[in-house]
Amino acid sequence: MEKRVIRSTTGNIPQPIRSDGAGGVDNGPRNIMRDIQNPDMLVPPITDNGLVPNLKFSFSDTSMILKHGGWSREVTARELPIATTLAGVNMSLTAGGVRELHWHKQAEWSFMLLGRARITSVDQNGKNFIADVGPGDLWYFPAGIPHSIQGLEDCEFLLVFDDGNFSDLSTLSISSWFAHTPKEVLSSNFGVPESAFSTIPSGQVYIYQGEVPGAIESQEVQSPYGEVPLTFKHELFKQTPIKTPGGSVRIVDSTNFPISKTVAAALVEIEPGGMRELHWHPNNDEWQYYLTGQGRMTVFTENGAARTFDYRAGDVGYVPFATGHYIQHTGTDTLWVLEIFKSDRFEDVSLNQWMALTPNELIQSNLNVGPELISALRKEKWPVVKYPGFSYIPK
């Protein structure tokens, strides 16, 4: 190979040089598009410090599973090792496409991204459930409860499971169980000839193309035991949001979605110029999914370590238990992000509120600050903040 220095030929290629002169030009082989997407990793803020593990992984960097009837991809602890509490699956079904009848050892929480689908389930007491879901709707199936999903039109959704090591290909599927059970056993169990099972699948079907189902009334099956006592569906967009300057928050946990015993979440809207305030969560790690827009998050951990990451739609973020962080809007469109927790309750501690409810003299002596900051502190929590004249404006 010819020995020569490769130099940039345009002036808009980012370089790892901070405004104070630290760093230098990168003339070697590089993935320039990655550097453009991650400006705060290429040139970390001067306040970043120490060693913080990777807290970002994009669904775009995962392997797609393509089936007739839809596709899926997942981000688990295999892709993002720090993410031990939760795993995520991004799935799409065609109109009529079916995620076959199955169940998991983990609970399933889902957010409908686009399109409509039909979900069904039966609980341990023989009580059944059927519902149609659309954009912004949630569903939750407890661990061990069988269920199915079918597209009423082309649709896409996010599935979250309360175990970071979960894989959607490791589920227990009705087709796989039939395939690995002797036909004479199936015959004895159902009271029909073995010939009734001559055309069953040879293995797990996972996703397949079916016919678009009729109206929900035409598919309802009446159980002698009735319907499930707690609905598996929740319409998040029907909640009245917490509105603050800069955006809004909708919180969903077992207090308003009682069946959701192991997953809690907040849907956060951050307008241009706004930010998710400095805060932390005292109950568990946070698993994030970025829906629209662009943002950056700095996570502050023990011993003064801090690291900044850039996120955009389709990315997964992660925040370890009780570590301080914020999300700052860095794009032009509204930033929407899901904050998800392995917990029955959503809990967060606001840095601003904590300071406001602490004796002023203690704050002043601890931080060596004056009345200008003390008088601006708020006793009410604002999850998203925006102050005229103090907002970040993308360059």
Q: Per-residue pLDDT for 204 more than 70?
A: yes
**In angstroms, what CA-CA distances link 247 with 137, 183, 357?**
20, 58, 24
Tokens of 365: 């002596």
Average pLDDT value for residue range 58-65: 97
17 phi and psi angles, rounded to 5 deg: -130, 120
Catalytic residue among 100, 277, 286, 339: 339
Question: Alpha helix locations (H) across 126-221?
Answer: 174-179, 183-190, 216-219
What are 308's strand-pairing partners? Answer: 298
Give the C-alpha separation, 18 to 35, whole Å: 14
Buried b or exposed e, range 262-280, using 16+ CB within 10 angstroms: bbbbbbbbbbbbbbbbbbb
Identity of residue 263: V
Tell me: pLDDT of 10 over 60. no
Query: What pLDDT was estimated at residue 9?
Result: 38
Residue 53, SS3? coil
The reported pLDDT for the residue numbered 395 is: 67
pLDDT attached to residue 394: 73
For residues 375 and 355, give the distance between their C-alpha atoms in angstroms, rounded to a whole number: 11
Q: Average pLDDT of 326-350?
A: 97
**Cα R_g (the chain), whole angstroms:** 25
Q: What is the pLDDT of residues 151-182, one digit of tens each?
A: 999 999 999 999 999 999 889 999 999 999 99
Average confidence (pLDDT) over 134-155:
98
What pLDDT does residue 118 have? 98
The tens digit of pLDDT for each residue in 280-316 reads 999 999 999 999 999 999 999 999 999 999 999 999 9
What are the DSSP calls for 209-232, one per residue?
A: E-PPP--HHHH----TT-B-SS-S
Q: CA-to-CA distance for 252 and 267, rounded, in angstroms?
A: 8
Q: Quote the pTM value.
A: 0.94
Q: Nearest CA to 312 among 93, 112, 11, 33? A: 33
Mean pLDDT value across the chain: 95
Could you read off the pLDDT of 98-116 as tens digits, one per residue? 999 999 999 999 999 999 9
Query: SS3 of 35, please?
Result: helix
Beta bridge partners of 58: 315
pLDDT tens digit sequence for 355-376: 999 999 999 999 999 999 999 9
What is the reported pLDDT for 393? Answer: 78
On whether the CB atoms of residues 279 and 348 are closer than 8 A, the answer is: yes
Query: Running DSSP on this structure, what letter comes out for residue 305?
Result: -
Q: Which pLDDT band holds residue 145 (cuts at 50, 70, 90)?
A: very high
pLDDT category of residue 187 using cuts at 50, 70 and 90 = very high
- The predicted pLDDT at position 235 comes to 98
Residue 5: is its pLDDT beyond 50? no
The one-letter amino acid at 130: I
Do residues 179 and 200 make contact, with C-beta atoms less than 8 angstroms apart? yes
Percent of the chain past pLDDT 90, that is, above it, reads 95
The reply to whether 339 belongs to the active site is yes
